[in-house]
Amino acid sequence: MAVGAPVAAPDLEPYRRELTGYCYRMLGSGFEAEDAVQETMLRAWRHADGFEGRSSVRSWLYRIATNVCVDMLRGRKRRARPMELGPSSPPDESHLGQVLPEHLWISPIADARIVPEDGDPAEIAVTRDSIRLAFITALQHLPARQRAALILCEVLRWQAAEVADLLGTSVAAVNSALQRARATLAALPDTARPAAVAASQAALLDRYLTAFERYDMSSLVSLLHEDAVQSMPPFAMWLQGAQTICTWMVQPGPSECRGSRLIPTRANGTAAFGQYRRDPDGGHMPWGLQVIETSGGLISEIYVFLDAEALFPAFGLPAHLPG
């Protein structure tokens, strides 16, 4: 290529999935991650003729995405799960409280938007582990640039020199940021760290689906860890204990879930279900996205994200189920 000859505009679309994963880990919101990637692509397209090819397209895009995420995080409070905001509640509807704004919560993301469709099974497993809700929550405790350094070095396996170039700093500064980030994460309680998941929990999840659709609490309680947790963003209330969860589910309000249908999907590297309640006009209507964590052959956590109107389209779930 002649000196000074323009570099052809790069194809950016092949990077969308991995950039979405990076931005999700940075921001803790599936919706904001999509916005950040779109802004990254727009900035890249606007400045494509200024791309001189001295770095890889991938590094160039990650530099833009990092700047976008840091800008979005500036001046914000960290997102959290209900368990980080206060003690558990008894199974009494009077404790439900008010609907709180979306920006306070870690929100889920569909595996299909992040996890490669094919590739090395070990790499896919690492990708899934690194988008689990507990890990995303733990990352929120880190300042933005420490968060970026940790994700790039320890999740995406970039070299410290590459990260230093991307962040416009030195290798020593990157290593220092990593050391501080690791110390912060190590100091978090065990509940802020994801537990190991068995390779397949298909039978357990099938039993859960059957028990929930039958609203069979005696069967359901047998599938939960004794200290299992259920949360219901955007409410701050959360429950702990298998019996407490099942007592809650037969209270007057929650008992309206009786007769629900569940549609399997995947979210945050683990099993999930779109929950549809009975529609008075017939069929079933979207109600909540259940994200299920398992450990030791039982269910340890049930997150029920109630913003079905926004979440179900993002997960490709039907807008309505026929009767």
pLDDT digits (tens, 9 = 90+) for 139-157: 999 999 999 999 999 999 9
- Res 7 pLDDT > 60: no
Residue-level pLDDT at 55: 63
- For the beta sheet containing 224-231, the strands, ordered from the edge strand earlier in sequence to the opposite edge, are 238-240, 224-231, 298-305, 284-295, 270-278, 261-267
In the chain, residues under CATH classification 3.10.450.50 are 202-314
The confidence score (pLDDT) of residue 219 equals 97
Q: What is the mean pLDDT of residues 292-304?
A: 95
- DSSP code of residue 154: I
Query: What does each C-alpha distance from 113 to 20, 60, 72, 227, 252 come to in angstroms?
Result: 7, 21, 20, 32, 37
Burial class (CB in 10 A: 0-12, 13-18, 19+), 1: exposed
Query: For position 76, what pLDDT does the model report?
Result: 86
Tally of CA atoms within 13 A in the half-sphere of 111 that contains its CB: 23
pLDDT of residue 13: 87
Q: Is the peptide bond before 234 cis (omega within 30 degrees of 0)?
A: yes
Residue 10, pLDDT score? 65
- Answer positive or negative: Cα dihedral of 293, 228, 298, 211: negative
Question: What pLDDT, on the 0 to 100 scale, is given for residue 195?
Answer: 57
Mean pLDDT, rounded, of the chain: 91
Which band of pLDDT confidence, cut at 50, 70 and 90, is reported for residue 5? very low
Average pLDDT over residues 45-71: 84
Q: Are 84 and 106 in contact (CB under 8 A)?
A: no
Position with higher pLDDT, 197 vs 282:
282
The per-residue pLDDT for 125 is 85
Which is nearest to 140 in space by CA: 254, 28, 34, 245? 28
- In the predicted structure, residue 191 carries a pLDDT above the cut 70: no
Average pLDDT over residues 232-236: 96
The Cα 313–Cα 117 span in angstroms is 20
| pLDDT higher than 70, residue 63 | yes
Q: What per-residue confidence (pLDDT) applies to 323?
A: 80
**278 against 53, higher pLDDT:** 278
Residue 280: Cβ-neighbour burial (10 angstroms; 0-12, 13-18, 19+): exposed
Say yes or no to pLDDT of 190 above 80. no
**What pTM was computed for the model?**
0.91
Cα separation, 135 vs 139, in Å, equals 6
Q: How confident is the model at residue 220, as a pLDDT?
A: 98
Mean pLDDT of 271-287: 97
Q: What is the mean pLDDT of residues 29-46?
A: 95
**Higher per-residue confidence, 49 vs 46:** 46
pLDDT at 318 over 90: yes
- Residue 53 confidence (pLDDT) above 90: no
Say if residue 1's pLDDT is above 50: no
pLDDT by residue (tens digit) across 83-127?
998 999 999 999 998 999 999 999 999 999 999 887 788 888 888
Q: What is the pLDDT of residue 199?
A: 52
pLDDT value at residue 92: 94
- With bands split at pLDDT 50, 70 and 90, how would you rate the model's confidence at 18? very high
Q: What CA–CA distance (Å, rounded) separates 186 from 138?
A: 10
CATH for the stretch 202-314:
3.10.450.50
Mean pLDDT check: name the lowest of 184-193, 242-251, 304-313: 184-193
Cα separation, 296 vs 280, whole angstroms: 39
